[in-house]
């Protein structure tokens, strides 16, 4: 088969692909943006179907791709818009469960190859959980290839009935590699300024970043913070993000007088990481956590829960604790704060681990090899 991994050979039209994104979390949206840029650079025609707010945030058209507004819902109007966008595609690539299911409806039995990337696992119990499992089965049985961003997602796809499930090579896009002191203006001056702003002058700064929802495990983080009140000096815990649990968390922080600040959504992740002594990831499940990647790229010691794809992602470059055990989290942080040599080793191991992850070029190359398997040479009309 003639490869499609570069500009179309003489006598063939360019490969036409449609990338479908639902609401899109930070990881999947950044991945689609990076993928679109790499594909366009290699002569592939790319249309990104995503809500307008995703286009505003990630500028898919800035890569040379076309953007088509498709709302997040699976109502007939959205499905019809997606069907029109996919009408002349050689291949469709959907990202996430809801986008994938909407794409299955839009293709409606067409022979257009469908590639699906699972970036996360759907979380729900009861009737909604049953519905999500039904959607998963429908999607994986329709898709020609399912790419999972962590080994457990690949195993889940295979158990659900995928014909072909593989581990995806997913790079952290260069624009998300934050925290490198060399990229910051006057870091020696900036670090104390940020620490003072966050109330961490003369005390350790513990940093967590992520939406304030149950998956992130922030209530367990608050449980652990009780133990840190007995340290001298008391660490300042800072959580950057917004979400539905903010009122509950804020009430606990005030009622229990915990050394925790909720600072809302922030865009200056690099500055926050440059100021942090330890980063915390307390989620109940993660696939290929963007925050964990940013932390290791920044050379900050990481304490994370041993869940999902985290152990494979970080290797020996982080301290891992069981989910649901605030005592283990609290004790691990206390030991790290008292052991500068271990912190220094984790910084070194983190930088080394980050260097082992796929590059954006390698990510695009893997995706193109999958596309190549699923498409035939396209003679010019």
pLDDT tens-digit readout, 224-233: 999 999 999 9
Q: Where are the beta strands (DSSP E) in the chain?
A: 16-21, 45-50, 66-69, 91-95, 114-118, 145-148, 165-167, 205-209, 236-240, 260-264, 278-281, 302-305, 319-321
User: How many residues does this entry show for the chain?
Assistant: 381
Higher pLDDT, 71 or 165: 165
Summary mean pLDDT of the chain: 91
CATH number of 175-355: 3.40.50.2000
Mean of pLDDT values over 75-91: 94
Give the model's pLDDT for residue 75: 84
Give the model's pLDDT for residue 294: 95
Give the model's pLDDT for residue 179: 46
Strand order in the sheet with 145-148: 66-69, 45-50, 16-21, 91-95, 114-118, 145-148, 165-167
What is the percent of the chain with per-residue pLDDT over 90, rounded to a whole number?
82
> Which tokens in the block code for residue 374?
């699923």
Report pLDDT digits (tens) over 131-161.
889 999 999 999 999 999 999 999 999 999 9
Contact, 57 vs 23, CB < 8 A? no
Whether residue 181 is predicted with pLDDT greater than 80 in this model: the reply is no
Ranges of each domain in the chain: 16-171+359-374, 175-355
Report pTM: 0.88
Whether residue 173 is predicted with pLDDT greater than 50 in this model: the reply is yes
Give the model's pLDDT for residue 128: 79
- Helix pair 126-142, 97-107: axis angle to 10 deg: 50
Residues facing 91 on adjacent strands: 17
d(CA 132, CA 41): 36
Whether residue 9 is predicted with pLDDT greater than 70 in this model: the reply is no
CA angle 104/63/117 to nearest 5° reads: 30
Q: How many CB atoms lie within 10 A of CB 97?
A: 20
Mean of pLDDT values over 287-304: 95
Whether residue 278 is predicted with pLDDT greater than 90 in this model: the reply is yes
Candidate CATH numbers 3.40.50.720, 3.40.50.2000, 3.40.250.10, 3.40.50.2300; the one for domain 16-171+359-374: 3.40.50.2000
Mean of pLDDT values over 355-378: 92
List, as one string, the DSSP characters of 23-86. S--HHHHHHHHHHHHHHHHTT-EEEEEE-HHHHHHH-GGGGT-EEEE--SS-SHHHHHHHHHHT
Contact, 239 vs 216, CB < 8 A? no
Reading phi first (left if > 0) and then psi (alpha if -120 to 50, else beta), residue 294 is in alpha
Report CA dihedral (83, 47, 174, 284) to the nearest 10 degrees: 0
CA distances from 113 to 13, 93, 182, 256 (A): 17, 8, 44, 55
Contact, 228 vs 237, CB < 8 A? yes
Contact, 10 vs 377, CB < 8 A? no
d(CA 206, CA 46): 41
Give the model's pLDDT for residue 130: 83
Higher pLDDT, 7 or 303: 303
Whether residue 3 is predicted with pLDDT greater than 50 in this model: the reply is no
Whether residue 307 is predicted with pLDDT greater than 60 in this model: the reply is yes
Q: What is the band of 263 on the pLDDT scale with cuts at 50, 70, 90?
A: very high
Mean of pLDDT values over 53-58: 94
Q: What is the band of 8 on the pLDDT scale with cuts at 50, 70, 90?
A: low
d(CA 205, CA 272): 10
Mean of pLDDT values over 30-58: 96
Contact, 244 vs 212, CB < 8 A? yes
Q: What is the band of 22 on the pLDDT scale with cuts at 50, 70, 90?
A: confident
> Which tokens in the block code for residue 243?
């979400």
Residues facing 379 on adjacent strands: 12
Asked if domains 16-171+359-374 and 175-355 share a fold, the reply is yes
d(CA 30, CA 24): 9
Q: Where are the beta strands (DSSP E) in 123-235?
A: 145-148, 165-167, 205-209
Contact, 194 vs 267, CB < 8 A? no
Higher pLDDT, 111 or 379: 111
- Helix pair 26-41, 290-298: axis angle to 10 deg: 80
122 by Cβ neighbours in 10 Å (0-12 / 13-18 / 19+) ranks as middle
Higher pLDDT, 127 or 33: 33
Q: What is the band of 24 on the pLDDT scale with cuts at 50, 70, 90?
A: low
Contact, 92 vs 86, CB < 8 A? yes
Range in 40-44, 74-78, 85-89, 194-198 the model is least confident about: 74-78
């Amino acid at each position: 088969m003639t490869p499609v991994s570069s500009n179309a050979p003489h006598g063939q039209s360019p490969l036409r692909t449609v990338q479908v994104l639902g609401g899109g979390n930070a990881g999947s949206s950044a991945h689609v943006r990076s993928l679109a840029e790499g594909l366009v650079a290699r002569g592939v025609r790319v249309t990104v179907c995503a809500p307008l707010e995703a286009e505003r945030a990630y500028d898919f058209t800035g890569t040379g791709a076309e953007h088509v507004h498709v709302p997040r819902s699976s109502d007939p109007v959205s499905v019809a818009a997606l069907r029109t966008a996919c009408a002349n595609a050689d291949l469709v690539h959907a990202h996430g469960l809801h986008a994938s299911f909407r794409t299955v409806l839009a293709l409606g039995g067409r022979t257009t190859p469908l590639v699906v990337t699972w970036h996360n696992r759907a979380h729900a119990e009861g009737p909604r959980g049953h519905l999500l499992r039904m959607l998963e089965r429908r999607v994986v049985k329709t898709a020609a290839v399912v790419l999972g961003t962590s080994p457990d997602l690949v195993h889940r796809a295979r158990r659900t009935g995928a014909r072909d499930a593989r581990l995806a090579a997913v790079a952290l896009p260069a624009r998300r590699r934050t925290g490198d002191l060399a990229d910051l203006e006057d870091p020696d001056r900036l670090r104390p300024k940020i620490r003072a702003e966050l109330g961490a002058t003369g005390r350790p700064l513990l940093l967590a970043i992520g939406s304030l929802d149950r998956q992130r495990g922030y209530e367990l983080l608050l449980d652990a913070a009780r133990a840190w009140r007995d340290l001298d000096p008391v660490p300042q815990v800072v959580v950057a993000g917004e979400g539905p649990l903010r009122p509950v968390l804020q009430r606990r922080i005030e009622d229990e007088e915990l050394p925790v600040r909720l600072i809302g959504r922030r865009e200056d992740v690099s500055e926050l990481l440059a100021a942090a002594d330890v980063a915390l990831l307390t989620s109940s499940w993660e696939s290929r956590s963007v925050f964990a990647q940013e932390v290791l790229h920044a050379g900050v010691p990481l304490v994370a829960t041993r869940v999902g794809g985290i152990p494979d992602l970080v290797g020996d470059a982080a301290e891992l604790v069981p989910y649901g055990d605030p005592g283990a989290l609290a004790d691990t942080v206390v030991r790290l704060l008292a052991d500068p040599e271990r912190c220094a080793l984790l910084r070194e191991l983190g930088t080394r681990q980050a260097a082992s992850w796929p590059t954006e070029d390698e990510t695009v190359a893997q995706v193109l090899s999958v596309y190549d398997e699923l498409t035939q040479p396209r003679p010019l009309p």
